[in-house]
Chains A and B, each alone.
Chain A
Amino acid sequence: MTARRVMGIETEYGVSAPGDPAANAMLMSSQVVNAYAAPLGSRAGRARWDYEDEAPLRDARGWEISRDSAHSSQLTDAPDDPGLANVILTNGARLYVDHAHPEYSSPEVLTPRDIVRWDKAGERVMLEACRRIAANPGLGDVNLYKNNTDNKGASYGTHENYLMRRSTPFADVVRHLTPFFVSRQVITGAGRVGLGQDGTGTGFQISQRADFFEVEVGLETTLKRPIINTRDEPHASADKFRRLHVIIGDANLCEVATLLKVGTTNLVLAMIEDAAFTRDLSLERPVGTLHDVSHDPTLKQQVTLRDGNSMTALELQWLYFEQASAYVSDRFGDDADEATTEVLTRWESVLSRLGEDPMLCARELDWVAKLRLLEGFRNRENLNWDAARLQLIDLQYADVRPEKGLYHRLASRGQVEQLVTDAQISEAVHEPPHDTRAYFRGRCLARYGENVAAASWDSVIFDIPGRGALQRVPTLDPSRGTKEHVEALLQRCRTAADLVDALAAE
């Protein structure tokens, strides 16, 4: 495996009622999910999430913590309110309320370009929900933002999920991934006005999330956030796979940033699985360095390695790039797949230009696009970094509405590079990817939605009239249930009962 891998991306959106800071965030989040799901009627809108396989307290290091010692926010398998909106969409995604935010979890895909495509589909879903609420005279307006902090001490996440071989020692993951995550923000940062968790420090920093990370490794996701998260819910055969749950990423709007975020991480994971790293790049103080790197948009901040060497985060990224490039050429020569070649080519190009002048990446990276806008506005208005209008630009960059969102204003002027077409995104709002089990899940919803009682990442549960018990179809292998595997079967089975019978006969 290279830049290709079974993976997904999930984003908790900021949710706010303009003019009403005290509005109930859980209620608004439910409105968002319901506004989108309700018109789907008896199809996707009704199928519920199946929690049977959720095990949020299992730790990748090999133990399970007791429920009594867990913080209530860690109990994601027992929502406070079972009525909280939680649905599966025909594209295989999950749309639900997580804590006090509406969240879109993409279907499982195989390539970085498909992450971009189904992540953008999620933005469309949120926009549609926002429009429907605005059109409903009985509801107050709800604004949605694809960002990660309110700049007052609260942060909410954008998580990547990567399927890995169970046999890979977790210590290797920690060793090689930590310096990579500390340095990759020069590419993946979404930019932020304000320093420190509450944003009261004056200035611009590269990452939305960096200041909220306090420890190197851990299970928590809502407090004492770790650079490497050890949650181990594979949502697949646990003896074969682990799902690496990455919580350190920013919410990206720039498509190239998203592509590089997951593409370069996939390459690093492939090298960890193949024990291909020739050099240990462990850092002296990863958490402090993460903050320091984020706080220096000139990219001059030095990073100290445990072996005594020091270099910039950009130079550290070059070391990862060079090892990855050598790895791909060694294993695949000229036969590397297109997705991998694209990631390597773009990675090198972005690193080169970041070294020359970061502004040369304003079409591809969010933090640069945002900074360029802020600097232009600052110069014109002669503002200091603590000006409210600069914080407003930061916030509105992430507004999902094309007429209000500043990322979208840039995109409409052709000032950011786009990798997927409008038509591809529109299709991905409804259609699942073809090459993972998300195809089976999504097509079952579209075709037999009336009879789908619930679903999860690794199951679809049918409620068939005349049969007493619910029929649970496990989908434990993420690479099965693809279009190639099941399209003919689904076409042959007119009803859910036909499908269940056909599967039972196999």
Chain B
Amino acid sequence: MAGQEQQRPTRRDDEPADDAAPAAPPAGGAAQTTDADVDAILDEIDDVLESNAEEFVKGFVQKGGQ
């Protein structure tokens, strides 16, 4: 499962950069999620999760589809 090679973090250097490509925008990442966001949803999650996880998960049985 673990990768064997180091990962190049951004655009491959050996490929020509395309001048017409739009600059990477903040796009959806604009407002990054924070640890406080995770904590807020985790505080809520116990009330949202179905009780008796094991039985609930075991009971979710589907027939195959396409």
Interface residues in chain A, defined as those with a beta carbon under 8 Å from any beta carbon in chain B: 12, 14-16, 18-21, 25, 73, 98-101, 145, 149-157, 159, 203, 221-223, 247, 256, 295-296, 298-302, 310-312, 314-315, 318-319, 322, 325-326, 328-329, 333, 341, 344-346, 348-350, 352-353, 355-356, 360-364, 372-373, 376-377, 380, 388-389, 391-393, 395-396, 403-404, 406, 409-410, 413-415, 417
Contact = CB atoms under 8 A, between A and B. Distances in A.
A329 B28 contact: no
Contacts of B42: 373, 376-377, 380
Contacts of B19: 329
6 contacts: A150-B61, A300-B6, A348-B22, A352-B10, A352-B11, A389-B49
A150 B60 contact: yes
B64 A364 contact: no
B29 A363 contact: yes
B23 to A, nearest CB: 8
Contacts of A145: 60
A262 B33 CA distance: 25
Contacts, number: 212
Nearest to A312: B7
B29 A349 contact: yes
Given A16-B62, A355-B7, A296 B25 contact: no
Interface string B54-66: 1011111111111
A329 B26 CA distance: 21
Given A150-B62, A302-B5, A314-B7, 15 more contacts: A18-B50, A20-B59, A73-B66, A99-B66, A153-B64, A156-B66, A329-B21, A341-B22, A352-B24, A355-B10, A356-B10, A360-B29, A372-B38, A392-B56, A396-B48
Nearest to B27: A349
Q: In this complex, which of B8, B10, B61 has the most chain A Cβ atoms within 10 angstroms of its Cβ?
A: B61
A222 B64 contact: yes
Given A361-B29, A363-B28, A319 B15 contact: yes
Contacts of B5: 300, 302, 310, 312
B63 to A, nearest CB: 4
B32 A312 contact: no
A247 to B, nearest CB: 7
A328 B60 CA distance: 45
Nearest to A25: B63
- Looking at chain B's contact residues, the main secondary structure is loop
Nearest to B57: A391
Nearest to B51: A392
Nearest to B10: A355
Contact of A406 (B27, B45, B53, B62): B45
A314 to B, nearest CB: 7
Nearest to B37: A415
Shortest 4 CB-CB contacts between residues of A and residues of B:
A300-B3, A156-B65, A329-B20, A100-B63
B49 A18 contact: no
Nearest to B64: A154
Contact of A14 (B37, B45, B58, B62): B62
A406 B37 CA distance: 14
B33 A372 contact: yes
A248 to B, nearest CB: 11
A315 B6 CA distance: 12
Contacts of A156: 62-66
A422 B39 CA distance: 26
A25 B65 CA distance: 11
Nearest to B49: A392
A21 B45 contact: no
A155 B61 CA distance: 10
B18 A155 contact: no
A256 to B, nearest CB: 5
A100 B57 CA distance: 19
B65 to A, nearest CB: 3
B63 A99 contact: yes
Contact of A348 (B21, B38, B63): B21
B45 to A, nearest CB: 7
A415 B41 contact: yes
B53 A333 contact: no
Contacts of A373: 38, 41-42, 45
A302 B4 contact: yes
Given A315-B12, A388-B53, A409-B41, A21 B61 contact: yes
A360 B11 CA distance: 17
Contacts of A100: 62-63, 65
A470 to B, nearest CB: 30
